[in-house]
Structure 1
Amino acid sequence: MLAPDLLAQLAPTATDPRPVLLALAGPTAVGKTALSVALAQQLGTEILSADSRQFFRELSIGTAKPTAEEMQGVPHHFIDSHSITQDYSAGRFAADALGVLGELFRCLPVVVLTGGSGLYLQALTDGLDELPAVDPAVRQGLQHELQTLGLPALVAELAATDPVAHQRVDLQNHQRVVRALEITRGTGRPFSSFHTGPVAAAATAAARPFRVVKVALNRQREVLYDRINQRVEAMLSAGLVAEVEGLVSYRHHQALQTVGYQEIFGYLDGSYDYAEAVRLLQRNTRHYAKRQLTWLRRDAGYQWVDLK
């Protein structure tokens, strides 16, 4: 549970009587689900999920989607809300979530937002940068290069043309890399130059009809990595391979171009054996957790809590 001083921040103040959105973030396997449910029960409130893959009904095991037992009767919004056949972006999530919050805050003084997808959390709490329109031919050319040259070639170009974006973008997510290069090539300016920064983010947050309290969870690295390895084993025991087999026809969708699915696709393709798939899955999940922590540390608004 959160310390009393953090919980005290959820109460309205004389200078800011707005309701509060408690944003509970952290790396995969840190324990966000259990804590968010416990807090929601304590506060008598509901939960919004900001996990970019738990939206999709077809994905469960590989996304560590909370079970009905884990939810313990607490209403969760934006879990199983969409089909993988639907495109769903951070911007659309923020717009939809603002609508849901408008309804919830009519009777609830606090709502819990939780998830490990930093961009989706940011979209709701701070808004997103406005990016210019680019000729679709630029993206088409990049998609062709992705297929013919591979992702490493595009990552190398990003490193050369926009070192700042190279440090920030998830380099294993081909859509994020393509998007950054699309803006850079299409405008002649680095993708990172369009980031408005903390001043604009603060202005957007201040304009929200609610106040945001940001909390980032972490654990000692060895403990977190052990939890990750155990989660991978649990996913496999729960039938991850069978789940991925049933998703082969959807493998081109962005939600499946991620850790937890790509490693199993490689195994099903015969690129390596089962033991190597497990090793890659555990390693890549650890790397993903490190990237999540790096993203969160960029935002000075988060208050960090070390879980035991």
Structure 2
Amino acid sequence: MNKLPPAIFIMGPTASGKTAAAMHLLESGLPVELISVDSALVFRDMDVGTAKPTREELQRAPHHLIDIIDPTEVYSAAQFRSDARALMDDITARGKIPVLVGGTMLYFNTLEQGIHDLPEADAALRTSLHAEALAIGWPKMHEKLAALDPITAARLSPNDSQRIERAIEICILAGRPMSAILAEPAQDTLAYNLLKIALLPSDRAVLHQRIEARYDAMLAGGLIDEVNMLREKYALNLDLPSMRCVGYRQTWEYLDDEIDLKTSREKGIAATRQLAKRQMTWLRSMEQLQTIDCSGTQMSAEALKLVRTFLP
């Protein structure tokens, strides 16, 4: 019998219904507390474009690690792991079960598998890499990464500036490919008995329809006004992680008259679909998953059934 304390992961691509499934667990009377695993929901004042749970939803089902930093700040996977582990230990000590819900697969992976010994960021090198990218463009930087680390380059989009820059930085500082480091055993894995639930669509067209409908709802709900407010309130630029979030960069470009609203919408929906594809690729590489079809109408009930079977 597994004597480790229980914890539950609820994972899935964007628009798969993760929040609804997690809230259903809580409202069913199970002794659970929710921890958000989302690199966008950590930012204050970014509500519409991140599809953040509403104030009413958060009152019904509080989530840890939402609204914890300003959009000018940076929140790493290592910091998430430290915060999440402290919360999990506290929740467990109080006799409850941590439920970690979200779509940032890097956070889930780092939490479960532990930390690899990657070099810390180097400000001078990043400045140099950024200047090079401005001169030649991110697709060319992607080609540079492919020469240094073809395995990492193969899983990154040529325009994924943040991850390309970090991967090149690691290759230079460590003197070897990031993929080689990540292939080694990580330090300090998670000491919990995990139930990992993946919400995946049997019909990807259904997910694409949800993504489009949700993006249109964001536009109708004030996404443009939100980005305007953020630009007035904070000293932001498009290189910050907050403004790399899907929807925000495309809206920024519209506000700067670089593209029209129709193009901004189309680019935002396309970027969201690409994000969902990356999330599903991550999920399909994970082991010991319990998969639920998020295209169906009984998803939350099926998740609850899995959890009840899992718990002693």
Tell me the TM-score range normalised by the shorter chain.
Answer: 0.7 to 0.9
Whether the aligned pair in 2 keeps the contact of 1:129 and 1:194 (CA below 8 Å) is yes
Counterpart contact for 2:36–2:65, Cα < 8 Å: yes
How far does residue 267 in structure 1 lie from its aligned partner after superposition? 0.8
| Residue 288 of structure 1: how far off its partner (Å) | 1.1
Q: Is the 8 A contact 1:20 1:109 kept in 2?
A: no
Further displaced range: 215-224 or 166-175:
166-175
- The residue identity in structure 1 corresponding to 2:18 is K
Task: Give the length in aligned residue pairs.
Answer: 289
Q: Residues 50-78 of structure 1: CA distance to partner in whole angstroms, max 9, x if unpaired?
A: 10010111211111101133346122101
2:230 to 247, 260, 267: 247
Matched, 1:19 2:5: yes
CA shift for structure 1 position 261: 0.6
Alignment partner, residue 237 of structure 1: 220
1:90 & 1:134 partners in 2: Cα distance? 13
Q: Structure 2: state its 5+ residue gaps.
A: 297-312
Aligned-partner Cα distance in 1 for 2:242–2:289: 26
Identical-residue share of aligned pairs (%): 37
Relative to structure 1, the CA distance from residue 171 to residue 29 in structure 2 (aligned partners, 3 Å threshold; closer, same or farther) is farther
Any idea what the Cα deviations from partners look like across 1:3-50, whole Å, max 9, x if unmatched? xxxxxxxxxxxx222221111111000110100110122223110001
2:192 maps to 210
Moved over 6 A (4+): none
Q: Name the stretch that deviates more: 131-140 or 279-288.
A: 131-140
Cα-Cα RMSD: 1.9
**Paired residues of 2:34 and 2:62 also in contact (CA < 8 A):** yes
* In structure 2, distance between residues paired with 1:178 and 1:297: 26
Structure 1 gap segments, 5+ residues each: 1-14
**Structure 2 length normalisation: TM-score?**
0.86
Please name the residue that 1:3 is paired with: none
Aligned to 2:304: none
Q: Match for 1:212: what amino acid?
A: L
Q: Could you give the per-residue CA deviations for residues 121-156 of structure 1, whole angstroms, max 9, x where no partner exists?
A: 122222221113576543332121122222111112
TM-score, normalised on structure 1?
0.87
Code of the aligned partner of 1:101: M
Please give the alpha-carbon distance, in whole angstroms, between the structure 2 residues aligned to 1:69 and 1:170: 37
Quick check: 2:34–2:61 contact (8 Å CA) kept in 1? yes
1:48-87 equivalent positions in 2, closer than 5 A: 48-71=35-58, 73-87=60-74
Please list, as runs of the form range in 1=range in 2, the aligned pairs for 1:22-41 lying within 5 A after superposition: 22-41=8-27
Distance in 1, Cα, partners of 2:280 & 2:178: 22
